[in-house]
Amino acid sequence: MNSAVTRRNGESGGGQGQLTMFDWVHISMPPAPAMFAQLLVGLINGAFYAMLSLGLAVIFGLLNIINFTHGAQYMVGAFCAWFLLNTLGLGYWPALVLAPIIVGAAGIAIERLLLRHIYGLDHLYGLLLTFGLALIIEGVFRQQFGSSGQPYAIPPELQGGRNLGFMFLPNYRAWVIVASLVVCLATWFTIERTRLGAYLRAATENPVLVQAFGINVPRMITLTYGAGVALAALAGVMAAPIYQVSPLMGSNIIITVFAVVVIGGMGSILGAIVSGFALGLVEGLTKVFYPEASSTVIFVIMALVLLVKPAGFFGRAA
């Protein structure tokens, strides 16, 4: 490399030891396999950011509640899958169905017993209540299982991977990316393009009018919260074989997910999906070019977005 640099400088008339712009670019570019590997990691993280921020956006956009319990419910979904496997012998595929139903039902109980009493109050009350619930849930699981992670095996059908030539793609990670995209797009379609979604959106604007058409708005709100919680639990089941099952897995990701929601726009379904995947890729690329900033780049972007467009990229100004 030194001789090549000296030769280029000699040809251009420069002194020895001086690097041209081309040399700096050549030196700083990482190997292609490393870049693609980090892009894959970014896509995986983005898939979970998108699913979790989607659940938050559904709950905030339709219930006007900032659900800080979302990270704990994501963790409970992963533990639900772990319990089903180790207690009842039910593997990954049944857990994908059962865990969201179980955690969603628990979410419905939380909405009916607690959240229903703070509708119409300032957002701060919902934030404090759900934050307290998150601390209680996480504390119970930490007391029972400690802070270390519990292993959860990849299902046999998705073990292994394929060599794409420029990188090795594990089958399970490919499944997570595709499945999360399908879930996110199906949720967006349901809310934005179906009659049910029209009723949900109308109920947030004028619940009295919607109820006059014979729609049970309180029940609709309860089921919407349960569906948002079920999305978090589904993400937890999918994350279990990758990150292990730990009481801290929710608190480790929820702040980043809130930043994703703010960037996409509070309550915006499309914004949650696009921002989740895009910011996951940005985080992955940052790990390649400037690893020290990878844990803060999303928050830097959030600060810039709040300065330029406080409602977020896809949000509507109040």
Chain centroid, CA 219 distance in Å: 27
Kindly indicate the confidence band of residue 165, based on its pLDDT and cuts at 50, 70 and 90.
confident
pLDDT confidence of residue 6: 43
Residue with tokens 């947030």: 204
Kindly indicate the confidence band of residue 318, based on its pLDDT and cuts at 50, 70 and 90.
low
pLDDT confidence of residue 51: 95
pLDDT tens across 61-93, in order?
A: 888 888 999 999 999 999 999 999 999 999 999
pLDDT tens across 7-58, in order?
A: 444 444 444 455 454 444 444 567 777 788 888 999 999 999 999 999 999 8
pLDDT confidence of residue 36: 86
Q: What's the whole-number average pLDDT of the chain? A: 88
Domain that holds residue 207: 44-158+169-251
pLDDT tens across 187-220, in order?
A: 999 999 998 888 888 888 888 888 888 889 889 9
* Buried residues in 51-84 as b, exposed as e (16+ CB within 10 A): bbbbbbbbbbbbbbbbbbbbbbbbbbbbbbbbbb
Facing residues of 161 across strands?
A: 170
Domain-located, residue 227? yes
pLDDT confidence of residue 4: 43
Kindly state the tokens that stand for 48: 């979970």
Domain-located, residue 127? yes
Domain-located, residue 221? yes
Burial class, 156, CB count within 10 angstroms (exposed 0-12 / middle 13-18 / buried 19+)? exposed
What is the tally of structural domains in the chain?
1
Domain-located, residue 51? yes
Domain-located, residue 274? no
Distance from C-alpha of 228 to C-alpha of 224, rounded to nearest angstrom: 6
Distance from C-alpha of 86 to C-alpha of 25, rounded to nearest angstrom: 51
Domain-located, residue 305? no
Q: Are 240 and 152 in contact (CB under 8 A)?
A: yes
pLDDT tens across 233-288, in order?
A: 999 999 999 999 999 999 989 999 999 999 999 888 999 999 999 999 999 999 98
Q: What value does the CA radius of gyration of the chain take, rounded to a whole number of Å?
A: 23
Please count the CA atoms within 13 angstroms of the CA of 117 that sit on its side-chain side: 6
Kindly indicate the confidence band of residue 317, based on its pLDDT and cuts at 50, 70 and 90.
low
Domain-located, residue 38? no
Helix 70-88, helix 92-113: angle, nearest 10 = 130
SS3 168: strand
Domain-located, residue 286? no
